[in-house]
Amino acid sequence: MAGAPGHEAARATTEFLGPPRSASSYRPFSLLELVIHEAAALLGDYPDLNGFFASGRGWRYRDIAIGFAVNAGRGLKVPVVQASHLHSRLSVARAVRELSLCYFRNELKMDDVIGGTFTVTDLSSYGVTHFIPVLNDRQAAILGICAERPGTGHQDLVLSFDHRISDGMRAAAFLGELRDHLLSTSDV
């Protein structure tokens, strides 16, 4: 969190959403699903963002397991797409949809919400055009998806990270690559 010791935030602007979707411009994957897939593909190159700080030093996870924050009146939960980096785009989408359905049916199991190494939180559907996500325990970074800024066609991605294990240049590089991957994706 900005201002907290060791925590910083970085921001990237995206332009890939454009005008609201219509039936003729249907996209098979949600932005959340695409962000999870692309972030998982990149985190192997950014192990400092896929770890945590404890006992005076940085630790890195071997696996990449991306959680996504969900709160639709049933309490905040963070279901986890285990081994996210090994999933295809379609497989990530299926996992996100299945875990979301379990959330809405109140059927999430403990195994569905543990083991996250990185989190994505999406407040775009609430019209939030900027926020700074708060780090989760035992995670070095969390990525926020903001709503489109009115009249701009731009949408921000915000990365909060633990400065004790990473730095602003690494965070900016990660966000830049993530933005480029998302912009080059034919499904957005």
The CB-based long-range contact list for 94-100 (8 Å cut-off, 24+ gap) reads: 96/30, 96/32, 96/33, 96/36, 96/68, 97/33, 99/68, 100/70
Which entry of 163, 180, 181, 187 is annotated as an active-site residue? 163
Structure letter (DSSP) for residue 26 = -
How far is Cα 62 from Cα 13, in angstroms, rounded to an integer?
29
> In b/e form, how buried is each residue of 57-72, taking b as 16+ CB within 10 angstroms?
ebeebeebbbbbbbee
Is residue 163 part of the annotated active site? The answer reads yes
Which entry of 167, 180, 181, 187 is annotated as an active-site residue? 167
Q: How far apart are the first and last CA of the chain?
A: 29
Q: Check: CB of residue 12 under 8 Å from CB of residue 155.
A: no
Tokens 């990185």 found at: 118
Residues annotated as catalytic are 163, 167
